[in-house]
């Protein structure tokens, strides 16, 4: 295929159609592009009346973009009368009124009138005028019909090839009943409901894993909306298999199950307790494990941490304080930290082992020595009444923002 849409391996569609007559065309390029437009819609008979340039010139052939045969077969005449001598019906294409009592038709009407005559073996011609001023009155007077296009009255002039293209399009559409040259390939049959339901089950299971359906009371509506999105696609069997693969790749990663899975609230509590007992995995002069644990804890918050964080970021009193969740500070992972205010909020579980308590105390001391104000928050208070907790925390944060002197540590909030 030498060009987009040009395929010499396919059969040339011959649509019959009218003769195209160009009266005194001035530019070789316009003759070439007219041939190209005719070839697009299976028109093959081109007649030229006194062309200024050779229709086989290099510029005309280049503009034809492969429709050379039409230019080679083009007939030449000295006058319009000779060019239409064998025609039983002639239409004059013009964008101007010529004040002549002739029927005025659109391209669609014109091809409907041409079709039975051409089918009967008659010769029908459409005449197009010069690029500069179109057809003269006497030339229009030779026609049986005036053909004009529904264009902007204030800017009605079309390029010569464009005008031929519109007429050719209407003719070809009539002859082929508007059939398109190709259709969407049916590479895979439509997906049955059983396959879709299996996909929905997989999708919803993975979304449950990452706690997408929140709040719980809206789960049913969210599921229905998701199913409607995919149902509107009218997916094929291959589409659904591809979507299955996408969900699997996201859930498991390229090399097996994704690292850092999501735990429920109770499991997250156990994870935090285990990390606390082991000093949160600290390794001297090694920050990689600490950052990995921070990512793991961000992915697996406890119910208390989730409730507190959601309330904190949605409370305008704390806007601009710069709090971040589960961020390493030195060798330690802080529950909540504001670097601009140098405040650490330490979430304390109801029960913790001796080892975990010692690790927490060591962390508090390390942070306090470096100018951080450490405020302890009881996890039970965060779950029970987070609003009250934030009310008590707000003046502390406001004072810090106003430049109050740092303290090495503070008593628990809601003590």
Q: Distance (Å, rounded) from C-alpha 16 to C-alpha 266?
A: 80
pLDDT at 326: 80
- Domain at 80, CATH number: 3.40.1280.10
How far are the Cα atoms of 180, 307, 352 from residue 300, in angstroms, in the given order? 56, 13, 18
Whether residue 102 is found in the same domain as residue 246: no
- The counts of H helices and E strands in the chain are 16, 11
Q: How many domains does the chain have?
A: 3
Whether residue 396 is found in the same domain as residue 307: yes
Mean of per-residue pLDDT scores for the chain: 83
- Other Cβ atoms less than 10 A from the Cβ of 67: the count is 22
E strand residue ranges, 89-167: 89-93, 104-105, 124-128, 145-147
Whether residue 125 is found in the same domain as residue 205: no
Is 257 part of any domain? no
Q: Which residue has the tokens 């909020």?
A: 345
More confident site: 343 or 408? 343
Is 242 part of any domain? yes
Whether residue 68 is found in the same domain as residue 148: yes
Is 162 part of any domain? yes
pLDDT at 54: 94
Confidence band, pLDDT 50/70/90 cuts, at residue 287 = very low
Is 412 part of any domain? no
pLDDT at 160: 92
pTM of the shown model: 0.51
pLDDT at 132: 87
Whether residue 228 is found in the same domain as residue 108: no
Least confident of 21-30, 190-199, 269-278, 360-369: 269-278
How does 360-398 read in b/e, with b if 16+ C-beta sit within 10 Å?
beebbeebbeeebbbbbbbbebbbeebeebbeebeebbe
Is 353 part of any domain? yes
Whether residue 50 is found in the same domain as residue 89: yes
Whether residue 299 is found in the same domain as residue 163: no
116-146: pLDDT as tens digits: 999 999 999 999 999 888 999 999 999 999 9
pLDDT at 273: 65
121: domain range?
19-176
pLDDT at 169: 94
Q: What's the whole-number mean pLDDT along residues 17-38?
A: 95
pLDDT at 261 over 90: no
Highest mean pLDDT among 15-19, 166-170, 178-182: 166-170
Of all residues in the chain, the percent with pLDDT exceeding 70 is 81
Q: Distance (Å, rounded) from C-alpha 10 to C-alpha 8?
A: 5
Is 103 part of any domain? yes
199-233: pLDDT as tens digits: 998 899 888 877 788 888 888 999 999 999 999 98
Whether residue 205 is found in the same domain as residue 308: no
Confidence band, pLDDT 50/70/90 cuts, at residue 270 = low
End-to-end CA distance of the chain: 81
Whether residue 38 is found in the same domain as residue 161: yes
Whether residue 89 is found in the same domain as residue 215: no
């Amino acid at each position: 295929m030498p060009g987009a849409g040009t395929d010499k391996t396919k059969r040339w569609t011959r649509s019959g159609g009218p003769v195209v007559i160009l009266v005194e065309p001035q530019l070789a390029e316009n003759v070439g592009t007219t041939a190209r437009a005719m070839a697009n819609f299976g028109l093959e008979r081109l007649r030229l009346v006194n062309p200024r340039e050779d229709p086989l010139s290099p510029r005309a052939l280049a503009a034809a973009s492969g429709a050379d045969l039409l230019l080679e077969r083009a007939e030449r005449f000295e006058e319009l009368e000779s060019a239409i001598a064998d025609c039983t019906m002639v239409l004059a294409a013009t964008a101007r009124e010529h004040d002549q009592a002739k029927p005025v038709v659109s391209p669609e009407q014109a091809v409907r009138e041409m079709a039975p005559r051409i089918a009967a073996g008659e010769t029908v011609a459409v005449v197009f005028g010069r690029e500069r001023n179109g057809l003269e009155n006497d030339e229009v007077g030779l026609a049986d019909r005036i053909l004009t296009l529904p264009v902007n009255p204030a800017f009605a002039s079309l390029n010569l090839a464009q005008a031929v293209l519109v007429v050719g399009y209407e003719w070809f559409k009539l002859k082929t009943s508007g059939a398109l040259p190709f259709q969407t390939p049916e590479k895979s049959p439509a997906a049955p409901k059983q396959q879709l339901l299996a996909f929905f089950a997989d999708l919803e299971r993975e979304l449950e894993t990452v706690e997408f359906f929140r709040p719980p009371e809206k789960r049913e509506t969210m599921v229905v909306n998701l199913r409607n999105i995919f149902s509107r696609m009218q997916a094929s069997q291959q589409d659904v298999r591809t979507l299955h693969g996408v969900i699997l790749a996201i859930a498991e990663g390229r090399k097996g199950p994704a690292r850092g899975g999501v735990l429920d609230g109770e499991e997250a509590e156990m994870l935090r307790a285990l990390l606390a007992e082991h000093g949160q995995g600290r390794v001297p002069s090694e920050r990689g494990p600490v950052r990995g644990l921070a990512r793991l804890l961000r992915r697996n918050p406890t119910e208390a941490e989730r409730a507190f964080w959601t309330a904190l970021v949605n409370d305008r009193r704390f806007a601009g304080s710069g709090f971040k969740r589960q961020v390493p500070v030195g060798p330690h992972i802080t529950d909540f930290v504001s670097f601009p205010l140098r405040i650490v909020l330490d979430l304390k579980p109801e029960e913790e082992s001796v080892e975990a308590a010692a690790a927490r105390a060591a962390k508090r001391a390390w942070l306090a020595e470096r100018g951080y104000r450490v405020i302890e928050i009881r996890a039970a208070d965060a779950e029970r009444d987070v609003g009250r907790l934030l009310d008590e925390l707000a003046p502390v944060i406001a004072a810090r923002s106003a430049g109050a002197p740092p303290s090495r540590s503070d008593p628990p909030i809601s003590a």
